[in-house]
Amino acid sequence: MECISILEARHVKDYRVFLKFNTGETGEIDLRDLVYKYQIAEPLRNPEIFSRFHLDSWPTLVWDCGFDVDPESLYFRATGKSLWE
């Protein structure tokens, strides 16, 4: 499997994000579970702050508070496909 990267990320609503990958696949995911699981993500429990993410140079989904989610994990959440099978 090729290296997965995110071409586009858009906030949808609440903790939902639309993603487009370099494979051409797209998906909408809900990251509420991660936001409430990790202490570093506590500021993101406010949906307005959650919506202020961006893609860094890797590209990884990141927030100013230091929380991030890697492209491979997001790909699995969006498509149900594992890169390691």
The DSSP bridge partners found for residue 8 are 20
Q: Would residue 85 count as lying in a domain? A: no
66 in a domain, yes or no?
yes
What's the average model confidence in pLDDT over 10-30? 97
Q: How far is residue 25's CA from residue 64's CA, in Å, rounded to a whole number?
A: 27
- Which pTM value belongs to this model? 0.91
* Residue 84 forms part of a structural domain: no
Of 36, 55, 38, 39, the closest CA to residue 47 belongs to 36
Look at the chain and report how many structural domains it folds into: 1
Percent of the chain at pLDDT exceeding 90: 91
Domain assignment of residue 30, given as a range: 6-79
**What is the domain-level CATH number for residue 41?**
3.30.2020.10
Answer whether residue 1 is part of any domain.
no
In a domain, 54, yes or no: yes
